[in-house]
Structure 1
Amino acid sequence: MGAMRYLLLVISIVCLLKSSSAQPGFISIDCGTSGNYTDPATGITWTGDDGFISTGSSVANLPTAMQLQENKKQMSSLRFFDDSRSKHCYVLPVGASGTYLVRAMFLYANYDKEATNPIFDLAIDATLWRTIDFTLDRDVTNSWFKPTVVEVLVPVENSNISVCLIRTSSAYTPFISSLELRSITGSSYSYVTKSQSILENVGRFNCGPAANSSLVRFPDDSFDRIWVPSDQNSGLQTMSSGGPVAPSDNMPPSVVLQSGWISDGGFSFYWHSLPPASLYYAAFYFADLTGSKDTRIMDISLNGKLWYADVNATAFGNSALSVSTEVVAMGIANFSFAKSSGSSLGPILNAAELYAVLSVMNETTYRPDVDVLNILQARFNLRGWSSDPCSPVPWNWISCSSAAPPRVTGLKLSGVNITGALPDEVLQLTMLADLFMDHNMLISIPEDFTPLVNLERLHLQNNRLTGSVPDSFQKLRQLKELFLDNNYFNGTLPEQLMNTSTFMITAYANPFLCIPYQYVCGGENTDHTKLIIICSAGAAGSVLLVALLIFCCRRRRKLRPLNLTNRLGSGYFGTAYEMYNSDGSTTPVHPVMGTSGGGAPFIPRVDVPKFTYEEIKTATDNFRVQTGEGVIGPIYQGTLANGKHVAVITLSSKSTLTHDEFTTEVAILSKIQHKNLVCLVGYCDEPHRRVLVFEYMAKGTIRDHLYGKLTASEPVNWKQRLEIALNAARGLQFLHTQCAPRIIHGDVKSSNIFLNEDLAAKVAEFGLAKLREDITATSGFMISEFSTGEKLTTKSDVFNFGIVLLECICGRKTAKTEGAIENMNIIQWVKSSLQDGNIHAIIDPALAKNYNVEAMWHVAELALLSTDGRAVSRPTMTQVVRALAEAIEIESGTFVAIQPSTNSSVVTLKDGKDRERDGRSQRKRSSRRHVDRAHRPMKLVNIHLSPHRFAGKLDTATQRISLCD
């Protein structure tokens, strides 16, 4: 398919070059059409755009185009780009290096029936050209029905030139009506190649033509420059001559030079509302064809200062004269033409041009990196990506450095149906920090990853990878994350990965991989890898379990595999399993608290320091500053002897836990470490004096910033709230998915989500079930699991986290009396407020509309889904993480939607009646574009469970968030 596409492209370009032989150096593209035709007005051959771009959709037969005086045919069609790619590029072949004119036209004409005012950017190769903004016209509606024309003169040294439309907001869809390329030969505009600058046309005027004159372009102008009749100086005397003008390759066409303004004294010519630029380039053309024998010499001033002196328009007879140079102006360029002393005649002006000077972006992407990306595109059938990969904006599936030249620092190819082997060429991207190849169908990876010396995150989970885990991973000194879950690796996980590195590794759900039994992670003072496979505490059975596991790995033929999937019962931190013996019988084994065959309980090692009570008193200045009240006791601020700030929680003296039980709980907490969980850093265990010491979070809780003591002094904006929510969700996801057995927090609320100096969020007070008296006493939110007497599950945490999301949106308390079910009304209030589709009614006024409305809808519906009364209808915390990550992409305008499989299993939620599961998921994309996205019907989210990575699609009829496990 890729080869056929390439062949069609070559054939199309060959046909184009043949059809445009009458206009050498011309490429004229009628966007949104196919085939060739000749414009009867100009004789220019036009072609469709399907040979130049493979993305986007077309619209034809726009009726309003027929009302135009010029370019009717070209303006009656367009191509629009409503997916979430960062840029869409036309690639135009050029015959030789030199100066080229590039012209693009845009006629909106309300083609999508959405009455929007699109805003998007244009780029030439790696250089940002300009912003197309339909809101700039004072008569916005009128701007829909007249073409916007932009044009540049650009130096070209390569075999092609790319013109890219860049999406700047998810609210606007880029489009284009026509695109033209013209070769400018001879000495015309030599400034372009000499300065290696792009000249953007501000205005090109024909001065003094007859009334009601038309535009002048090809065939009168061999370069197809468009000369617009100027409406300035209508009261001046004009020169009109049919006399010949000596030919010149750097002058306007004769029909332009045969007319001009003449004045006995002087006149002005100006450009106002200049586009922002630090430098401009002006050119004026003079041809005195009056036949006078007298001299016509003039002085030219710019904004009151002499610019050119003694310009003699009669010095060359019937040849034209031009003056051109760089110009510095601010907002307006007013040129005055005055008769010089000693001149017999007053000034004359036949034509004028003004350009904004744009610097060419020469720092294109590092060429070897581009070569690798081209290989990946061909190997993985990644179609539609062209132009410079990094500049001016990167392709969606890569990230780039800001260095010169830009280097590829990230490959983000999660869930795009990649099959086969990961090519060795990836190892040539030596600046890679992120390599995300998860949720594909890869079967193999290179053995030696050592060339990727800058690699920090390697995600390979959810593929079909086989073979042994490469030893080279241990040599990646910058590595922070290594995710290998849900594959078919075999052998034993290299011990060096756990002993010599400092990164986080997940490798669960590899049925043929033997993994040494370890706790979830080392203590704060250890430097070995945090192996996220099993979260548990030790007991006498743990020693036996380790020995049996090692024995099974070495003697697989003689013993049946160790089976820890048949649960006999679960505790808050540990689970009892059946273990198969060699004779086929089973033995109950509890990795944490139970025993197998008797014996005294084994107390696991605690990986944090133990303090005396006197040390705790000294650290807290005798418990002088209380900062809050936790679920197990008051929280005090303290400083350890080494200067480290800490939070100290004192436990109730009424606790019934034995010394061994308390030590076991502390050991468990000491081994659970994640960047989004508040870490235990020490403890105290003396008679009736039990203390837990946690890391100190300097910025308090998210509740403090939303509607607490820090609301006025340290407010958080919407982007910060999204990042905080995502951080907290990741911490909970870790507890739910990376620990076996999973850990249920049981008391998620905004006062348990703490912030550090950088406003990074960490969840606190997890894993404290056995240290507190009543799990329902401080939960803050009454959910159905409590009222029905059911056990808490991970979905209970999801419910409470949904409340936190509503707090982030609304900036208000959940209830007048927290914990009382009759006052817990934020869910009902939000649902009621959203029924009319106006989300502004619930949004925290402190945000002052500084947010992306689609991202706000995304989170609001996720929150309502998470707080569904039925636990089975709530998403998992993994799905919540993905939804929040997508909301951040929507907020920042970088969201890439990957459609879920048509075979996805859909769990349809209800908001009063069942929703149909049919083709409505493929509603026309234009329905997503609204002038005010805040107003639309509120529909609950649908969940797709498919093999693809999480993708989302906002829709005005039904908000659909696709969340994939």
Structure 2
Amino acid sequence: FWSLSCGGATNFVDSANISWVSDNEYITKGNTTTVDFNTSLRFFPDPGNRKCYKLPMNYTTSSSSLILVRANFVYKNYDGLEQPPLFSVSLGTAVAAFINLSFKDPWIEEFIWQQDNKDTLPLCLNSIPNGGFPVISSIEIRPIPQGGYYSGMDDFTNKYPLDQYDRIWDPDQDFSPFHTSTGFKTLGTFNTWGLKESPPQPILQTGRVLARREGLSYNFALKNLGDYYVVLYFAGILPVSPTFDVLINGDVVESNYSVKSWEVGSLYFLQKGIKSLNITFKDISFYPIVNAIEVYEIINIPPESSTTVVSALQVIRQSMGLDLEWEDDPCSPMPWEHIQCEGSSITSLNLSFNKLTSFGTDLDGLINLRVLDLKNNSLEGLVPESFGAMMNLHLLTSGNLCLSFSMSKCYDATANATIDAPQVTVFNKKKQTLHSHLAVVLGAVGGVLLVLIVVSILVFVYIRRKTPEFKHRERMKADLQMRNWNAAKAFSYKEIKAATRNFKQVLGRGSFGSVYLGKLPDGKLAAIKVRFDKTQLGANSFINEVSLLSSICHQNLVSLEGYCHEPKQQILVYEYLPGGSLADNIYGANSKRKTLSWVCRLKIAIDAAKGTNLSSSSAIMAKPYLQAGAFEIVDESLKETYDEESMRNTASIASRSVDSDASQRPTIAEVLAALKEAYSIQLSYLATAGAGLST
């Protein structure tokens, strides 16, 4: 068990022999106080939307991937204002509950959470406008019985030690079954081996039995319209075996269900899109009986923002020296301050009125950005060239110093030292008529405009003359560099068009550009990659890529056959592999013909890592597709063909590889070692199972 006393000053052990620790090491915000003599709490008058705890996910050795998270919220008029707060609670990127302490105080929320191989889980209290200060008294994490809660998708409260997993089981008096019924209790012991949820014996020893009429009904008030998971428990505490139908919201979901004497059973139902819940047990023979009911709301977890974007934002914050409380995900459960999102994509960034003197770095990493507000700062000079490549970007820069994409376009002639300000004669106002005043003003304005037009034309002509010469000189220099690297063959753009038959057959597309099938003059097939990025930054990246690929040779790396480097053309020519991409073989048309086994996929990953290890020893960066639990993301076609430890180890190293903090990502050597270990485990599993190696 892991138990956190929010606002507690010291660690202690309670009457149930459960150890509690102070929350001082898990959060730096908020103030603390005590109510009802010994109940501590932490409240958050701090500005900002999120107040987050980082709950440790590595405290338990339980093999179950599910955990129970329980939070206790207490107000008890600690501030004397008699204004209970309203706020929301989120786990990870999901808003999990809304807490209204004017309705119930204290308020307990329980969540069953799928662990995702991360070291921590953010639990955040999120302010609501005019809702008061969020407040919390305790947080508990408990293991869930392995395999439990997966199927189908007395006057006291029972919990630990009666329930070894410390779940809370409330009596059903608050739900008032519609028709007269009787409570029964027996001291017999039941064998719960068949129930993965392992309900405690005191729960099975008590039950509600219909005394008369045809049905026993429960009505549950649901908080939200949504999907709900229902678990029903039955134990044969009567000397007879009743048979009955189970109805949910009037529909029969289980017919002729029997509860045999001294046996236990359970039913599981997933109800989608409901806003009320009625559970009815309709009599067929003898009397319907139910021993326990669990109802869980299914919360959709929004996808996390790209780790590349999160890293870019943190670099921006640090390089610009901004004091912003940016932590966890920038878009969910609610956007960071100064940020607007659509889904998990950042579309607007407001950095106005921050006294910025530079653009910082990595702004061009926000590829979906549509509005960048830099108004009223102290920026001066050229706007970064990379902004020009962001076609949908609306850049707001008013209120800065001279700021432009071209130094010749500053808003004021005096802002550029290379342009002389025109001399204007000032006349004696007493000797001039209104007509002469107007003539002077018009003449001065006309003179200024004429000078600006002439200077602009001269600068434009000079740049037009110099730019082609400069670009040609730079390109020749780059070509000479690539030849000195012993790079592969240099193709002309005309040869590339002929090889691809005017770019007829597309093999694939990505953020970098398109790949076409080509046939070289010697008859060899090739995969020809045409880049989208034609900027100078893209040209530098292209030259570096040619340099890197020309310097390495490995059996697990696609070889570079040649390149084309001409004006506005950056093309790479690779050897063609007819087997298709890995994505085609796992998800595409090839997967329908043959399924890649888990051991085969591991071997591919190891070979790829070996090739990557040759070209780089830095940390690996992958796309953030591993945001679910280790077994939630497993390909359905691999069901029951893999070792769980092998899969868990692979998912763990993959999850670490997309950590938003680059310093926490493993090196490619560490990735390779982890994959080899997973591969060995899978081979042992197959040998034990007597299976052959499928490829």
Contact 1:432 1:452 in 2 (8 A): no
CA shift in 2, pair 1:243/1:424, >3 Å? same
Match of 1:514 among 396, 417, 427: 417
CA shift in 2, pair 1:167/1:285, >3 Å? same
Correspondence for 1:39: 14
SS at match of 1:346: coil
Correspondence for 2:106: 147
Letter in 2 for 1:283: V
Q: State the distance in 1 between where 2:292 and 2:253 align.
A: 17
Q: State the distance in 2 between where 1:245 and 1:446 align.
A: 78
Q: State the distance in 2 between where 1:351 and 1:308 align.
A: 17
Correspondence for 1:273: 221
Correspondence for 1:90: 53
Mapped pair 1:156 → 2:115? yes
Correspondence for 1:52: 26
Mapped pair 1:221 → 2:163? yes
Mapped pair 1:481 → 2:397? yes
1:299 deviates by: 1.1
Q: State the distance in 1 between where 2:411 and 2:88 align.
A: 41
Mapped pair 1:496 → 2:441? no
Correspondence for 1:253: 200
Mapped pair 1:332 → 2:276? yes
RMSD: 4.0
Map 1:548-559; keep pairs closer than 5 Å: none
Letter in 1 for 2:100: D
CA shift in 2, pair 1:169/1:239, >3 Å? same
Correspondence for 2:235: 287
Match of 1:237 among 179, 182, 191: 182
Correspondence for 1:764: none
CA offset digits 1:561-619 (Å, max 9, x no partner): xxxxxxxxxxxxxxxxxxxxxxxxxxxx64xx679xxxx99xxxxxxxxxxxxxxxxxx
1:101 deviates by: 1.9
Contact 2:316 2:361 in 1 (8 A): no
Letter in 1 for 2:20: W
SS at match of 1:368: helix
Contact 2:64 2:147 in 1 (8 A): no
Q: State the distance in 2 between where 1:668 and 1:104 align.
A: 71
Contact 1:423 1:446 in 2 (8 A): no
1:433 deviates by: 4.8
**TM-score, scaled relative to structure 1:** 0.40
Match of 2:70 among 103, 107, 112: 103
Map 1:506-905; keep pairs closer than 5 Å: 514=417, 516=419, 543-544=422-423, 590=426, 657-658=434-435, 661=438, 664=441
CA shift in 2, pair 1:391/1:331, >3 Å? closer
SS at match of 2:25: coil
Contact 1:104 1:179 in 2 (8 A): yes
Mapped pair 1:180 → 2:119? no
Q: State the distance in 1 between where 2:405 and 2:208 align.
A: 87
Letter in 1 for 2:88: D
Greater relative contact order (Cα 8 A, min sep 6): structure 1 or 2?
Answer: 2
Contact 2:383 2:404 in 1 (8 A): no
Map 1:115-126; keep pairs closer than 5 Å: 115-126=82-93
Mapped pair 1:133 → 2:12? no
SS at match of 2:310: helix
CA offset digits 1:299-358 (Å, max 9, x no partner): 1123433232111111xx534211111225755322221222xx3x31111101122222
SS at match of 1:359: coil
Equivalent pairs, count = 435
SS at match of 1:424: coil
SS at match of 2:299: strand
CA shift in 2, pair 1:313/1:666, >3 Å? farther
Match of 1:425 among 353, 362, 376: 362
CA shift in 2, pair 1:102/1:382, >3 Å? farther
Contact 1:434 1:455 in 2 (8 A): no
Q: State the distance in 2 between where 1:172 and 1:220 align.
A: 37
Contact 1:279 1:327 in 2 (8 A): yes
Q: State the distance in 2 between where 1:494 and 1:408 align.
A: 22
Q: State the distance in 2 between where 1:401 and 1:57 align.
A: 31
Letter in 1 for 2:246: I
SS at match of 1:261: strand
Q: State the distance in 2 between where 1:214 and 1:494 align.
A: 72
1:188 deviates by: 1.0
Q: State the distance in 1 between where 2:359 and 2:406 align.
A: 24
Q: State the distance in 2 between where 1:239 and 1:360 align.
A: 40
Correspondence for 1:12: none
Q: State the distance in 2 between where 1:393 and 1:148 align.
A: 23
1:236 deviates by: 2.8
Correspondence for 2:300: 359
* Richer in helix (by share): 2
**TM-score, scaled relative to structure 2:** 0.55
CA offset digits 1:239-273 (Å, max 9, x no partner): 21121111343132111111112235554332343
Correspondence for 2:252: 306
Q: State the distance in 1 between where 2:268 and 2:65 align.
A: 20
CA shift in 2, pair 1:61/1:182, >3 Å? same
Mapped pair 1:401 → 2:345? no
SS at match of 2:423: helix
SS at match of 1:369: helix
1:368 deviates by: 0.3
Mapped pair 1:61 → 2:34? yes
CA shift in 2, pair 1:662/1:172, >3 Å? farther
Contact 1:298 1:311 in 2 (8 A): yes
Correspondence for 2:42: 79
SS at match of 2:129: coil
SS at match of 2:24: coil
1:235 deviates by: 5.3
SS at match of 1:215: coil
Contact 1:364 1:406 in 2 (8 A): no
Contact 1:217 1:226 in 2 (8 A): yes
SS at match of 2:34: coil
SS at match of 1:88: strand
CA offset digits 1:671-713 (Å, max 9, x no partner): 99xxxxxxxxxxxxxxxxxxxxxxxxxxxxxxxxxxxxxxxxx
Letter in 2 for 1:115: E
Identity %: 23
CA shift in 2, pair 1:44/1:152, >3 Å? same
SS at match of 1:400: strand
Correspondence for 1:620: none
1:373 deviates by: 3.0
Letter in 1 for 2:417: C
1:383 deviates by: 7.0
SS at match of 1:239: strand
Contact 1:414 1:438 in 2 (8 A): yes
Contact 1:28 1:181 in 2 (8 A): yes
SS at match of 2:52: strand
Correspondence for 1:894: none
CA shift in 2, pair 1:667/1:283, >3 Å? farther
Letter in 2 for 1:62: V
Gap regions ≥5 residues in structure 1: 1-22, 67-72, 138-142, 196-208, 457-476, 518-541, 546-588, 602-655, 673-965
1:130 deviates by: 2.5
